Amino acid sequence: MITAHKIVLDPNPAQENYFARACGTARFAYNWALAEWNRQYKAGERPSEAALRRQLNSLKDDAFPWMREVTKNAPQQAIKNLGTAFKNYFADLKKPKRQRRFRHPQFKKKGKHDSFRADNGADKDHPNAVEVDDKRVKLPVIGWVKMRESLRFVGKIKSAVVSRTADRWFVSLTVAIEHTPPNRENQAVVGVDLGIKALATLSDDTPPVENPKALRGNLKKRLSRSLSRKLKGSANRRKAKSKLARLHARIANIRNDVMHKLTTDLVTRFAVIGVEDLNVRGMMANGRLARAVADVGMFEFGRQLAYKAAMTGARVVTADRWFASSKTCSACGHVHTGLTLSDREWSCVECGVIHDRDRNAAINLMNFAASSAVTACEEEGADVSPRTAVKPASVKQEPEREAFAYV
């Protein structure tokens, strides 16, 4: 399975300078290849990324000798990316207009999605061009660069994409991981209620996971306001803009980190994990919830949980959209139909138990998961297809495309 981890880099000035040059080379190669592609196409030829790579290779020593100062992966990968962009674009053309997502490849501008890629195994002389040693990564030509955290996965490193967002450098490492056998003593079951106030509430006694959204407070509002007051095109506006962009990147980073810690914790501690159907589209239809849901990143939670569960052998049981996890009393089963979104606590009219809304929902999901898992096992034994309610986690592995996403 191929997975990726994006980590903040702490380059020294010389390394930063190299990154900028490598990004520039990648951008140049991309734009050169795009112009050449357009020209060949107009001339009635059939351009291809492989031919364009060979073409650039044969002329770069004479025409662009400065290209040799950076890893040769940078221009090569840029042209491969152009090939992918065209492939996506052409595939999209076959679809109805409304479903199209890719436009014709455009020339890249400096400072927008700056990135370059280095591969392992692309160069026979340097089979291990990219290496990781705790909190540092080795990149071709430039050598060891400090990382803010260590790589989350163990496995063979396939490639590194170095990118810049809001004046910060990142490396996205693509790793091929072996399946790890489950390392749990018991067959623990947990239910997870995802929410807006708390990001996640577990059915056990662990405290709810705070929603990192709260961290930003009013800072963003203040920065946006200060930005709108600045004169267009002024240096102050540019400064305010980069400050806001940095804050956005920081929030995204914190959220990503919290999400990864949560999903890793779940798949390592529990054998069966009960969750609600994370049909984001369904939830998005409810206008008021939409922003909050998007903020919390439920889709990202589902994606991470699915691929990590596949790695550890944990089972994700999804309760369908109509499962009343919040309204059902986890003590007696009574359904409290009058429950509203704002009721954080409620007491059951049947048995009198006072419930914390989120914890009660999590316990219901745990019970559902436990019974579904048992049923599924029995049915598997009896060679009957599992009940429809027990949907195995769709194993959507983090595709290699992940690495391209930053290019």
- Residues near Zn ion, by CB under 5 A: 329, 331-332, 334, 348, 350-351
Closest CB 339 distance from Zn ion, rounded Å: 12
Can 358 be counted among the known catalytic residues? yes
Instruction: Kindly list the distances between the CA atom of residue 58 and the CA atoms of 41, 53, 64, 271, in Å, as whole numbers in the listed order.
Output: 21, 9, 11, 55
Q: Which of 265, 358, 378, 402 is catalytic?
A: 358
DSSP letter at 328 equals B
C-beta closer to Zn ion: residue 154 or 354:
354
* Shortest Å distance, C-beta 378 to Zn ion: 28
Residue 90, classed as helix, strand or coil, is helix
Q: Which of 49, 114, 119, 276 is catalytic?
A: 276
- Could you tell me the CA-to-CA distances from 130 to 25, 75, 178, 200, 376 in Å, in that order? 19, 17, 19, 36, 43
Q: Which of 49, 114, 193, 398 is catalytic?
A: 193
Q: How far is 105 from 125, CA to CA, in rounded Å? A: 33
Quick check: is 345 catalytic? Answer: no
Secondary structure element (H or E) that encloses residue 354, with its range? strand 354-356
Smaller CB distance to Zn ion: residue 4 or 361?
A: 361
Would you say 351 or 377 has its CB closer to Zn ion? Answer: 351
Residue closer to Zn ion by CB (options 128, 347) is 347
Residue whose CB is less far from Zn ion, 312 or 326: 326
Q: What is the sign of the dihedral through the CA atoms of 262, 263, 268 and 273?
A: positive
The end-to-end CA distance of the chain, in Å, is 21
CA atoms within 13 A on the CB side of 320: 6
> In angstroms, what is the minimal distance from the CB of 369 to Zn ion?
20
Q: How far is the CB of 352 from Zn ion (least distance, A)?
A: 7
**Vertex 332, ends 329 and 337: CA angle to 5°?**
40
Least distance from Zn ion to the Cβ atom of residue 346, Å:
10
Cα–Cα distance for residue pair 333/331, rounded to 1 Å? 6
Structure tokens at 245: 């962009």
Assess whether 276 carries a catalytic annotation. Answer: yes
- Tell me which residues are annotated as active site: 193, 276, 358
